[in-house]
Amino acid sequence: MRELPLKNVLSAAGATLSERFGAQVVSRCADAATEYKHIRDAVGLTDFSHIQAFRIPEEKAIDFLDTLVAGNVAKTRYGRVLHTLIANDNGELCADCYVANNDTEFILLCESIVDDAALRALVMDSGGADAGVVDLNADHAILSVDGYKAWAVIKELFGADVLGLPYLSIENYEFEGETIRLFRAGKTSEFGYTLLVPARIAESFFDKLTTLVKAQGGGLCGVDIHSELRLEGRFFNIYAEGVRAKDPLQLGLQWMIDFDKGAFRGSEAIIARRSAGIKEKIIGLRTESAAQKLDIGSEIYAGSEKVATITASCLSHVLGCRVGLALFPVSIAFAGLSFSLGKDGPAVQTISMPPIMPRSLTVKLDEM
């Protein structure tokens, strides 16, 4: 198992550590309600060092990355970040990625459902060795600052210029003589910043961030609360629905794919399935109340007929009920329908996603 660079600091702070696809992760730092409140109302600091990070020198980066990922890297302007995916040769999802055009380099961040060795093999086998790919995990930590007030923490660190960064962009900042790569990104529906931090300064940077986060009324979080926030905000979560339904088309990820560019890893299989038309697709649903269960793997019925299986589920603190995702036959994959959970079980209703309106959407940072 690949251990987190800050595991001792995090353990001392009360973090619960576990494993995700061969990498150590921080599952929780407090109870779910507290962590949820940190991010929705203030700011949460989460260690994301389990995700895989690579640096590719600019010279051969575009050609290499465009044969690896499904999105169009050549169209990604300087300073911008492309949100896309990596598939295997069968067109099945392997990683949810950010590809950042950072002047003399490209940075590839991968949330993958294969371990480090398998992802590295996929990257190298697609021309990574020739392109000069460097694995950054050995000497970097990755931290995520998310929440309604996340911008205030980052502004305090790096100055007011950060408020002008658009969603999906990258910028370099200095801290104790080292370069920190800052991604304006996030999948919680609130403001989000991902920081790629050299290991030499990771501990002092983490301490500084922790102080600033607490000053805003926030605190440390684990990855489990991010899964709940992603579902509530209908951000794709490769660690939930992505594990159980690996077809990017069924998952509604066509927006991550450029069907008009040349071949990329898995493109033949994906394009063939697109031409044939998908038979199932993932949609959202909710229970009547928070007390009603909506367990992953539970079956959804229309009368006496089984029509779907739950692939992701969480408590929606905003709606006061459980929300989930399930793969439905396309002929009935519509919001506003009633089904039962199990034969003759309690009612569930398909819903439009995202079901909530985050407060961060009403804040205009560039006007502050």
Partner 1 sequence: MSVVSLGSQQSIIDRRAKVINTFKEELIRRLNLPYTPDDLHEDVSLLGAGLGLDSLDALEIVLCVENCFGIKIPDEDISVLRSINTIVDFVIAEQDKKGGAQ
Give the binding site for partner 1 (CB under 8 A). Answer: 83, 167-168, 187, 234-235, 252-255, 258-260, 274, 277-278, 281, 283-284, 302-305, 307, 329, 331-332, 334-338, 352-354, 357, 361-362
Q: Which lies closer to partner 1 via its Cβ, residue 7 or residue 281?
A: 281
Q: Which lies closer to partner 1 via its Cβ, residue 140 or residue 187?
A: 187
Q: Which lies closer to partner 1 via its Cβ, residue 50 or residue 187?
A: 187
Residues 6+ apart with CB under 8 A from 255: none
Q: Which lies closer to partner 1 via its Cβ, residue 175 or residue 301?
A: 301
Q: Which of 19, 45, 37 is nearest to 221 (CA)?
A: 45
Nearest distance in Å: CB 284, partner 1: 6
Nearest distance in Å: CB 110, partner 1: 18
How many Å is the Cα radius of gyration of the chain? Answer: 20
Q: Is 283 exposed, middle or buried (0-12, 13-18, 19+ CB in 10 A)?
A: buried
Q: Are 304 and 329 in contact (CB under 8 A)?
A: no
Q: Where are the alpha helices (DSSP H) in the chain?
A: 7-12, 32-41, 58-68, 116-123, 129-131, 150-158, 199-215, 223-232, 241-244, 267-276
Residue 143's beta-bridge partner residues?
47, 195
Residue 50 DSSP class:
T
Q: Which lies closer to partner 1 via its Cβ, residue 174 or residue 260?
A: 260
Nearest distance in Å: CB 144, partner 1: 15
CB atoms within 10 A of CB 240: 20
Nearest distance in Å: CB 214, partner 1: 28
Residue 240 DSSP class:
T
Nearest distance in Å: CB 269, partner 1: 16
Q: Which of 8, 67, 121 is nearest to 266 (CA)?
A: 67
Nearest distance in Å: CB 83, partner 1: 7
Residue 84's beta-bridge partner residues?
97
Q: Which lies closer to partner 1 via its Cβ, residue 218 or residue 252?
A: 252
Nearest distance in Å: CB 336, partner 1: 5
CA distance 42 to 35: 10
Map tokens 């367990």 to a residue.
295
CA distance 32 to 225: 6
Nearest distance in Å: CB 147, partner 1: 16
Q: Which lies closer to partner 1 via its Cβ, residue 18 or residue 254?
A: 254
Nearest distance in Å: CB 75, partner 1: 11
Q: Which lies closer to partner 1 via its Cβ, residue 117 or residue 357?
A: 357
Q: Which lies closer to partner 1 via its Cβ, residue 104 or residue 331?
A: 331
Backbone angles phi, psi at 226, to 5 degrees: -65, -35
Q: Is 305 exposed, middle or buried (0-12, 13-18, 19+ CB in 10 A)?
A: exposed
